[in-house]
Structure 1
């Protein structure tokens, strides 16, 4: 079951008791909940150890509204705005027979679908490339390049050790309110102590929101493609799952709201910000690929170039 929203949601309110499903006997069900900030779609799925929706039965979805600013129950947008009290907050429906052959999201391959995006858009020497010798300058007086915020996205090892961490999740510097390196329980404010990449939770991954700050490139911009060993284009991307609901690209107004909570530059940062050039920005499909990869566990692999 998919629910689409026009605003970015406060992730901690999505997973709380904010969306209820009741059966015909008014018994509350406890679905699994996933939230994709790229499409602003909440997916309600089958509980792991209990029966789910039965065919031909009546159900209703109920959305709750917080009673005040101190009430942490109920859905909120990233700026803590609530649902419009005048909106319809009870949706009744009947289930049909389960469709057969309904496609789910394809498995996203890190080496083919994700790493090429990082390498093409995020791995310039002054951004998130591997540290190494470079021409001495005012930025690198020691002749060594240093990745921004210590985040390396150029290699699988860099992604694993600086974005995901080994045995733990890394807290994004811009979201951290203190000298801790481990994430605390979700805060009331959006982005507080948010991991750079939270395996299994795209909604709680700082990297994804940094990418959403950049508007999409002009139509027709080709997607990032894995390179062969000789440098020529190789395997085209295999990801790009589109959910079976219509959704709009993030609006400029919502992107501006997001910028109030995500300090620093958008990703990727353009070589000449004043030019308005968007050609290096990620397409919506590329950001969706990264989101799906994170939701599927953010698995990294050693990636050999194609022969």
Structure 2
């Protein structure tokens, strides 16, 4: 069961108390709820293995509106805007049997699908590369490079130790409102104490929203691909799958709203700021690969160059 939205949703409101499903006897069901900020699609799934919605039966989805600003139930956008109370918020439908069903998102392999994106777009010495010796400059007077915000995306070790954390969810520096070392549950304000990468929850991962601020590159931009040991192009990415429903690329107005909550520069940092050069920006497919990797648990493994 898929619901598409035109606005980015406030993660803390994407819960069962905001979206209800009732069967033909008006009995409320309890689906699992997942949200992908890239496509802005909410997926309602079976709460347990086996049959969930029975074929040929009537059902309805009810989207709730918060009862005042203090009510945490009901869907909200990142700026706490609610659904239009005058809009149609009850969706009735009949189920049917579809031969073959639908295929889920392909498994994201960290070495082939995710790390090549980080290495090509984010791992320069002045950005999120591994710290090490460099030419002394006004930026690095000690002759040692230091990754921006302490975030290393050049290899699996850096991703695990600085983005995901060990035994805890690491709070993004830009989102932290106080001296906390561990992320709190998503709150009433978007982005506050949000971890960089929250395994299993792209909706609560600061890194993904940093990537969404930048508009996609020009059409025809090739995706990032893992390299072979001789420097030639290696295994192509697996993540070029089609989204489950038709959706529009994030609007400029919504990017501007998102930028109000995510301070700092866009990511990747433009090679020529202010020029409008978008060639280094991530494609929608690349951001989708990272989102799917996070949803699938953000697993990492050591990545050697490809023979």
Q: Secondary structure at the match of 1:221?
A: coil
Corresponding position: 1:216 with 2:216: yes
> Which residue of the partner structure matches residue 18 of structure 2?
18
* Cross-structure match for 2:145: 145
The 2-side partners of 1:50 and 1:76 are apart by 31
Instruction: State the distance in 2 between where 1:237 and 1:271 align.
Output: 24
Distance (Å, rounded) in 1 between the aligned partners of 2:99 and 2:43: 17
Q: Does 1:241 align with 2:250?
A: no
Measure the CA separation in 2 of the matches of 1:241 and 1:193.
32
SS of structure 2 residue aligned to 1:15: coil
State whether structure 2 residue 123 is matched by structure 1 residue 123.
yes
Counterparts of residues 169-248 of structure 1 (less than 5 Å): 169-248=169-248
Q: Which residue of 2 aligns with 1:66?
A: 66
Any conservation in 1 of the 2:16–2:30 contact (CA below 8 Å)?
no
Gaps in structure 2 of 5+ consecutive residues = none
Whole-angstrom CA distance in 1 between matches of 2:83 and 2:101: 35
Length-normalised TM-score, structure 1: 0.98
CA shift at 1:244, angstroms?
2.3
**1:261 maps onto 2:261 in alignment:** yes
Partner Cα separation in structure 2 for residue 69 and residue 99 of structure 1: 45
* TM-superposed deviation, 1:243: 2.3
- Alignment: residue pair count: 307
Q: Is the 8 A contact 2:62 2:90 kept in 1?
A: yes
Q: Partners in 1 of 2:72 and 2:200 — Cα distance?
A: 23
Output the CA distance in 1 between the equivalents of 2:290 and 2:240.
9
Tell me, in whole angstroms, the C-alpha distance in 2 between the residues paired with 1:72 and 1:285.
33
Q: Distance in 1 between matches of 2:27 and 2:36?
A: 27
Q: Unpaired runs of 5+ in structure 1?
A: none
Shift of 1:241: 2.8
Question: Which secondary structure does the structure 1 equivalent of 2:196 belong to?
Answer: coil
Instruction: Output the CA distance in 1 between the equivalents of 2:247 and 2:238.
Output: 21
- Aligned residue for 2:14, secondary structure, equals helix
Aligned to 1:107: 107
Deviations 1:91-123 (A, max 9, x none): 111111253252111001100000000000000
**C-alpha separation between the residues in 2 aligned to 1:260 and 1:208?**
15
Scaled by the length of structure 2, the TM-score of the pair is 0.98
Give, in angstroms, the shift of residue 16 of structure 1. Answer: 4.6
How many angstroms does 1:272 deviate by? 1.3
User: Equivalents in 1 of 2:305, 2:68: separation in Å?
Assistant: 55
CA distance 1:254–1:92, shift in 2 (3 Å): same
Aligned-CA RMSD value: 1.1
Whole-angstrom distance in 2 between the partners of 1:267 and 1:237: 21
Deviation at 1:187, TM superposition (A): 1.3
The residue number in structure 2 matching 1:276 is 276
- Counterpart for residue 54 of structure 1: 54
Q: Which runs of 4+ in 1 moved over 6 A?
A: none
Q: Is the 8 A contact 1:241 1:289 kept in 2?
A: no
